Amino acid sequence: MVKVFLSFSFCSLLAASATSQLDSLNVANKLENVTKTNWYDNFQIRGYLQVRYNRLLETNPDLKCEQCDRSWGENSGFFIRRARMIFSGQISKRVYFYIQPDFASSAGSTGNIAQLRDAYFDLGLDKNNEFRIRLGQSKVPYGFENMQSSQNRLPLDRNDALNSSVSNERDMGAFFYWAPKAKRELFSSLIKDGLKGSGDYGVFAFGVYNGQTANQAERNDNLHVVSRFSYPFKIKNQIIEPGIQAYTGKYVLLSTSPEVKKAANNEYLDQRIAASFIVYPKPFGIQAEYNVGRGPEYNKFSDSIEVQGLKGGYITLSYMLKIGKQTLIPFFRGQYYEGGKKHELDARSYKLNEYEIGFEWQPHKTFELVAMYTISHRRFEDHAKPENFQQGNLLRLQAQINF
């Protein structure tokens, strides 16, 4: 009887042990399934669409801005300014990719064609990705407003003074970025909290790039070099970000009149330095930048393109109002620029003073409406139009959806 009892007890223990091991295995499998991720689990798709109309209360149909918005002036109507799709993802702990096409680009008289804006990957050099290298076509780290997404910017177009440095703000190159983990989190929160941040381009940046701007082949054996230092910090409830940046290189003009006098190889010195000062809107905001430098510019007195000095900047004032779940941001911007625009015909010569007053209304995060009244005085001259001064006012509207 004792032997039978012991045998039964031993079998019971074996069964219990087997059941326990099976339960443990099931739990382990479940945990593995929960914690196991694939690179596409972090894959994101988002974007935005902007539709504009610029002809309300227009006083001068000859007032235009080629680099700003091609739907200014005569023969223009409703216009899709941007139609962006963003594909991004953290493929692994140290590799991140970002691809952004725009479906509202233009080629000659044809609009709404697809064109690549960004295509790059970041390679982290340490476990927290505080040090990283970016390779591909991306924004050049020069100017706060240049790096600030059009999805977040208050005025409808970037300022002429700094945006004339890099058309479409992008180029092919290799860039090194460094920022401590806490600063990277702060850069991210400035976007998530709707404070109109520029994104994470590091506290310190250094890079080399072709210098011919986005979607353009290199035209000489001279790379541009750029560097930037920007340091956001908190004072009580306020966040302030001063910065300084500079670049140098040689640019090959892509568009010149046959008769104009120019360098034999169309190559010109291209260098600038700029200072930035940002006070994020909590609720009052200030965004100011100024740059000086040298670059190609049309000279109507000699009918030639020469290396000349340039200068200019802007200041934007804003105030963020929270009305329930809605956001209203009235703003004012004044800007000034005197110099050439290397991306335009004959490195077109500019002198401008412009003032803009408007507001951005966000009834919810997926929709924004901007109304902006522009008062502009622009001189923009080239070989075909050596005397061209235009002034006027217009009311501009933009509807934007975010998805």
Any idea where the domains of the chain sit in the sequence?
A: 44-402
Task: List phi, psi (to 5°) of 2.
Answer: -65, -40
Tell me: cis bond preceding 283? Omega within 30 of 0 counts.
yes
Q: What is the pLDDT of residues 268-283, one digit of tens each?
A: 999 999 999 999 999 9
| Nearest to 320, CA basis, from 231, 201, 190 | 190
The rounded distance, in Å, linking the Cα atoms of 90 and 40 is 9
**pTM for the full model?**
0.89
Give the pLDDT of residue 37.
Answer: 67
Average pLDDT, the chain: 91
Residue type, 207: G
Give the pLDDT of residue 276.
Answer: 98
> How long, in residues, is the chain?
403
Mean pLDDT score, 34-54? 84
Give the pLDDT of residue 1.
Answer: 41
Query: How sure is the predictor about 107, in pLDDT bands with cuts at 50, 70 and 90?
Result: confident
Give the pLDDT of residue 21.
Answer: 47
Residue that wins the pLDDT comparison between 140 and 22? 140
Task: List phi, psi (to 5°) of 120.
Answer: -150, 170
Query: How sure is the predictor about 35, in pLDDT bands with cuts at 50, 70 and 90?
Result: low
Residue that wins the pLDDT comparison between 68 and 149? 149
Cα dihedral 67, 73, 79, 81, rounded to 10, equals: 20
Q: What is the pLDDT of residues 324-351, one digit of tens each?
A: 999 999 999 999 999 999 999 999 999 9
The rounded distance, in Å, linking the Cα atoms of 203 and 229 is 6
SS3 sequence of 341-394: CCCCHHHCEEEEEEEEEEEEEEEECCEEEEEEEEEEEEEEECCCCCCCEEEEEE
Are 349 and 356 in contact by the 8 Å Cβ rule? The answer is: no
Which residues lie across from 51 on neighbouring strands?
80, 399
Q: Which CATH superfamily is domain 44-402 in?
A: Porin (2.40.160.10)
Q: Which residue has the tokens 């501009």?
A: 396
The rounded distance, in Å, linking the Cα atoms of 307 and 295 is 5
pLDDT-wise least confident of 15-24, 101-110, 365-374:
15-24
Query: How sure is the predictor about 19, in pLDDT bands with cuts at 50, 70 and 90?
Result: very low
103 pLDDT above the threshold of 60: yes
Q: What is the pLDDT of residues 379-388, one digit of tens each?
A: 999 999 999 9
Mean pLDDT score, 171-186? 98
Task: List phi, psi (to 5°) of 10.
Answer: -65, -40
Q: Which residue has the tokens 């739907």?
A: 71
| Nearest to 151, CA basis, from 362, 389, 372 | 362
Q: What is the pLDDT of residues 220-262, one digit of tens each?
A: 999 999 999 999 999 999 999 999 999 999 999 999 999 999 9
The rounded distance, in Å, linking the Cα atoms of 38 and 29 is 16
- Bin 366: left if φ > 0, else alpha if -120 < ψ < 50, else beta: alpha
User: Residue 49: helix, strand or coil by DSSP?
Assistant: strand
Give the pLDDT of residue 257.
Answer: 97
Contacts of residue 276, defined as CB under 8 A and 6 or more positions apart, other chains included, come to: 143, 144, 230, 241, 242, 243, 244, 245, 288, 289
Q: Between the CA of residue 320 and those of 79, 193, 323, 326, 328, what are the distances in Å?
A: 28, 12, 10, 11, 6
Contacts of residue 88, defined as CB under 8 A and 6 or more positions apart, other chains included, come to: 43, 44, 96, 97, 98, 99
| Nearest to 99, CA basis, from 62, 51, 46, 29 | 46
